[in-house]
């Protein structure tokens, strides 16, 4: 049974339960509202106090719709959504639903072009109020409503953000309601660009996006993939709704404590691509979803985060410094360049091997030969080098992707590498972890091993960062 239901049916307050299990009322409220996951110890205490009615799994069962969708930290936020005239505007209807589920107070502005893609009627039906469309609207402008809209929001999200709207923003235009509000605001702004890949890579758009970032505006995406237009693919697809929610949380600086404030966290993520010749490479199935979720969770916890990522098809998390690399050697260089750090979490699936000799021309089939041998040499072991290096962060966490004897192998890896913790996951193909949405991990520490139930990668990230925050003490950092 859900904790909220158990409290309600028993007429028990969060404060009473907190007193019984020796924790704070705020902790119980966060657990009750689904804004945090309990530690194993806490889940055990709650199970005991509730006579087994509320177990650890009851905190993970978020229902089919929202199971993999983050955004709890947005609860009751005042959000202004600006929809501009791109084909991805239809996705914003889903974003509205998700924001409403999180009790956000929502105002929506549609640009003139956006009305060609979604109707004010469908937006109004979802939000329960007519969207704003006109700068010179006599019903709202009697008290300069566009300035009020700008002021009375905790954050502004533009999704989709067209090339045109970003060009106007970068140059300070204010000739319609959307651009006037964006120019009149000091509220944090997040853009989710979406456009044809040629528009995205055009030097004008590159310049405008760089200017907007320099102006302090956050950008999520776009992603690489299929475009809505038939036969088009490349970078330009709007970030998915869960990614936007995650980014909004980061931009808002998730409500509540910032346990990692002032700490620098390095996270690695994704696969590496080890070139064979100019057109081929050795890769693996890592999607980067887990590492990126960890970087986003650390940023929400207040840390300054450097994410070093191999090639992935997902959006950079907002509010995080991202360094894109291809091969293991580059990843090591980027990590070393990002040191010193207080915490390092190595979630990337770094290739163990690379070519002994990189071919500078495409390798050709040899006439008559039916076999081909590649000479490989070992890649640098980033986890080991950093764990045993002179700039070792006070807390180093490695990941072990295993297909058998998961915990035993992880224990051996922790000792061999010299890191503090290993997050071990079973990536046997049938479990669908590589590239999938869920993960079941074991946290292997020096004295203890925790077996976490299966949960989404966002939930694993939240729980890991909670553990990091409670284990990490600044005193250790200065030791
Ligand atoms: C069918 C169609 C699809 C479009 N899709 C996009 C898009 O995905 N991204 C974009 O930047 N512009 C797109 N445009 C162009 C914009 O609609 C156009 O630049 C418009 O002036 C944008 O106005 P706004 O920025 O005020 O919303 C599209 C135009 C059409 C006709």
pLDDT of residue 280: 95
pLDDT of residue 70: 52
Prediction pTM value = 0.56
Give yes or no: 409 in active site.
no
Q: Report CA 153 to chain centroid distance, whole Å.
A: 23
Of the candidates 457, 384, 378, the one whose C-alpha atom is nearest the C-alpha of residue 414 is 384
Q: Which residue ranges does the chain devote to CATH 3.40.50.10300?
A: 257-357+373-478
One-letter-per-residue 3-state SS of 88-146 = CHHHHHHHHHHHHHCCCEEEEEECCCHHHCCCHHHHHHHHCCCCECCCCCCCCHHHCHH
Pairing verdict, β 441-444 and 421-426: antiparallel
One-letter-per-residue 3-state SS of 317-343 = CCCCEEEECCCHHHHHHHHHHHCCCCE
Ligand 1, atom 13, residue with closest C-alpha? 86
pLDDT of residue 428: 67
Q: Mutate which of 85, 132, 180, 237 to test ligand 1's pocket (most atoms within 8 Å of Cβ)?
A: 85
pLDDT of residue 279: 94
Please provide the distance, in angstroms rounded to a whole number, between the alpha carbons at the two ends of the chain: 45
Q: What is the DSSP letter of 431?
A: G
How far apart are alpha carbons 150 and 103 in whole angstroms?
Answer: 20
Q: Report CA 236 to chain centroid distance, whole Å.
A: 18
Which of 246, 250, 284, 379 does the annotation list as catalytic?
Answer: 284
pLDDT of residue 438: 75
pLDDT of residue 140: 63
* Pair 377, 352: CB distance under 8 Å: no
Assign domain 72-251 to its CATH superfamily: Flavin prenyltransferase-like (3.40.50.1950)
Per-residue CA distances from 345 to 239, 285, 322, 425 (Å)? 25, 19, 14, 15
Between the CA of 162 and the centroid of ligand 1 the distance, in Å, is 6
Q: Which residue ranges does the chain devote to CATH 3.40.50.1950?
A: 72-251
pLDDT of residue 288: 94
May I ask the CATH architecture of the domain 257-357+373-478?
3-Layer(aba) Sandwich (3.40)
Collapsed DSSP state (helix, strand, coil) of residue 79: strand
Pairing verdict, β 395-402 and 155-161: unpaired
86 C-beta closer than 6 A to ligand 1: yes
pLDDT of residue 430: 61
Between the CA of 89 and the centroid of ligand 1 the distance, in Å, is 10
pLDDT of residue 34: 64
> Per-10-residue mean pLDDT for the chain, 479 residues long?
76 84 78 67 83 73 40 76 95 94 91 95 90 77 66 90 98 94 89 95 94 86 79 86 87 68 95 95 93 92 94 88 96 98 97 93 89 94 97 96 86 95 80 67 89 84 89 51
Between the CA of 100 and the centroid of ligand 1 the distance, in Å, is 26
pLDDT of residue 172: 96
Q: Mutate which of 82, 83, 84, 86 to test ligand 1's pocket (most atoms within 8 Å of Cβ)?
A: 86
84 C-beta closer than 6 A to ligand 1: yes
Collapsed DSSP state (helix, strand, coil) of residue 156: strand
164 C-beta closer than 6 A to ligand 1: yes
């Amino acid at each position: 049974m859900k904790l909220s239901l158990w409290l309600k049916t028993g007429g028990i307050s969060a404060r009473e339960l907190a007193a019984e299990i020796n924790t704070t009322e705020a902790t119980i409220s966060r657990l009750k509202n689904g804004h945090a996951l309990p530690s194993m110890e806490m889940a055990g205490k709650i199970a005991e106090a509730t006579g087994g009615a509320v177990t650890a799994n009851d905190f993970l069962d978020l229902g089919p719709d929202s199971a993999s969708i983050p955004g709890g930290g947005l609860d009751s936020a005042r959000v202004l959504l600006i929809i501009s005239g791109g084909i991805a505007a239809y996705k914003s209807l889903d974003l509205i639903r998700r924001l409403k589920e999180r009790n956000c107070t929502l105002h929506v502005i549609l640009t003139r072009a956006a009305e060609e893609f979604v109707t004010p009627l469908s937006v109004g039906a979802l939000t329960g109020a007519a969207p704003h469309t006109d700068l010179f609207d006599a019903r709202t402008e009697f008290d300069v409503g566009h300035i009020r809209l700008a002021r009375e929001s905790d954050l502004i999200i533009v999704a989709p953000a067209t090339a045109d709207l970003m060009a106007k923003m970068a140059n300070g235009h204010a000739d319609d309601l959307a651009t006037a509000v964006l120019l009149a605001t000091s509220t944090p702004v997040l853009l989710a660009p979406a456009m044809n890949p040629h528009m995205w890579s055009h030097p004008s758009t590159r310049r405008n996006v760089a200017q907007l970032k320099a102006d302090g505006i956050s950008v999520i995406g776009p992603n690489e993939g299929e475009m809505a237009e038939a036969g088009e693919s490349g970078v330009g697809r709007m970030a998915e709704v869960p990614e936007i929610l995650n980014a909004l949380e980061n931009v808002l600086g998730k409500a509540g404590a910032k346990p990692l404030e002032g700490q620098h966290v390095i996270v690695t993520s994704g696969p590496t691509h080890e070139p064979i010749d100019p057109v081929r490479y050795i890769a693996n199935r890592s999607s980067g979803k887990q590492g990126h979720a960890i970087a986003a969770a650390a940023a929400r916890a207040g840390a300054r985060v450097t994410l070093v990522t191999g090639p992935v098809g997902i959006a950079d998390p907002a509010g995080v410094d991202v360094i894109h690399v291809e091969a293991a050697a580059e990843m090591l260089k980027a990590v070393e360049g990002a040191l010193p750090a207080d915490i390092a979490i190595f979630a990337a699936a770094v290739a163990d091997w690379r070519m002994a000799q990189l071919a500078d021309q495409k390798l050709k089939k040899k006439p008559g030969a039916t076999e081909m041998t590649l000479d490989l040499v070992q890649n640098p072991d980033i986890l080991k080098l950093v764990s045993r290096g002179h700039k070792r962060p006070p807390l180093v966490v490695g990941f072990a992707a295993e297909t058998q004897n998961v915990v035993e192998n992880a224990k051996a890896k922790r000792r061999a590498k010299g890191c503090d913790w290993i997050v071990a996951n079973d990536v046997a193909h049938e479990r669908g972890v590589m590239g999938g949405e869920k993960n079941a991990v074991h946290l292997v520490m020096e004295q203890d091993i925790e077996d976490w139930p299966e949960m989404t990668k966002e939930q694993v990230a939240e729980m890991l960062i909670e553990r990091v925050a409670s284990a990490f003490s600044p005193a250790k950092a200065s030791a």
